[in-house]
Each structure stands twice: as C-alpha cells, then as structure tokens.
Amino acid sequence: MAPPPGERVYARQEPWRVGIRGRCPRCGKGHLFAGFLTLRRSCEVCGLDYSFADPADGPAFFVLCFACIPAMILAVWLEVAFEPPFWVHLIVSLPVLLASCILPLRPLKGWLVASQFYHKAQEGRLVRVGDEANPGSEHRRDA
C-alpha cells in the first residue's frame, strides 16, 4: 500500500536500538527526552507527537526486578558474611545500589516508548456484543 502523496516514509526502527539511545522511534534521529526521564512533546526532526507514549511504571518495575534486588542481595550478603562497619556500606553498597537503580531507567523508558510506537500499542478497550462487526463505532445505549 503506497503512502498518501506528500507524506514521508520512514524506515522501521528497531525499538531496542533507538530506545536505549533515547532517539525518536520513527526517524531514529530526533531526541526522545527533554530531561533525564521527561519526554519531549514531539520529535524535533520528523515532528512525531509523543503523546502516545505511556510507559507508566514499566521502567521502574524492570529496574527493581533485575537490578535492585541483586544489588540488595549483595548488600545483605556483605553484612551477613563480614559484618563490616557502616562506612563500608556507604562506600560499597550505596554506589552499587544507586548505579544499578538510576542508570538503567532512561534506556529502559526509551525502549518501552519505542516498543509502543513499533507495535502500535494502545489503551485496551472493551468490546460489547454486536460491536465486533464495527470496532470503530461509538458505544451506544439504546433506551
């Protein structure tokens, strides 16, 4: 199917490549973030509106499961095995926890936003009986 006249066609970007670099999921060139975790309103290169993006708590969940828990296990093991003074935890455990919790947030959020664009993810909607034939129709209540 050919694109409408005057509309630019972009090569499909792999979500993990553009996401971890914080780039636009459509063109791969524009920036995705305005701050550390704040999304821009749109891409400055292709104009893609980022209002579709809603990764919610996904990045925090992945960081918690795959980074924070192992870092916390390291801190507990250090305490149980060696019973070090408090300053050892400040020098070892705290930097490990901070690095493993904060650094992966931005790449993970970028990946989730790019995946939403790539897979055309939308908010789920309930379909009533009879609406299957016309999924775009408004839900009506007959009186």
Condensed to tens digits (0 to 9), the pLDDT of residues 58-95 reads 999 999 999 999 999 999 999 999 999 999 999 999 99
DSSP-derived secondary structure for 75-102: HHHHHHHH---HHHHHHTHHHHHHHHHH
> For position 143, what pLDDT does the model report?
40
Confidence of residue 130 (pLDDT cuts 50, 70, 90): confident
Is 50 among the domain residues? yes
Is 124 among the domain residues? no
User: Residue 71 belongs to what domain range?
Assistant: 15-118
Q: How many domains is the chain partitioned into structurally?
A: 1
Q: H helices within the chain, ranges in order?
A: 15-21, 58-63, 69-82, 86-91, 93-102, 105-118
Stated pTM of the model: 0.80
Is 125 among the domain residues? no
Is 126 among the domain residues? no
Structure token digits, residue 18:
């553009």
Is 9 among the domain residues? no
Q: What percent of the chain has pLDDT over 90?
A: 76
**Any idea which residue has 């992945």 for tokens?**
62
Q: 3-state DSSP call for residue 40?
A: coil
Q: What percent of the chain has pLDDT over 70?
A: 87
A 10 A CB-CB count for 28 gives: 19
Is 98 among the domain residues? yes
Confidence of residue 137 (pLDDT cuts 50, 70, 90): low
The residue count of the chain comes to 143
> For position 126, what pLDDT does the model report?
85
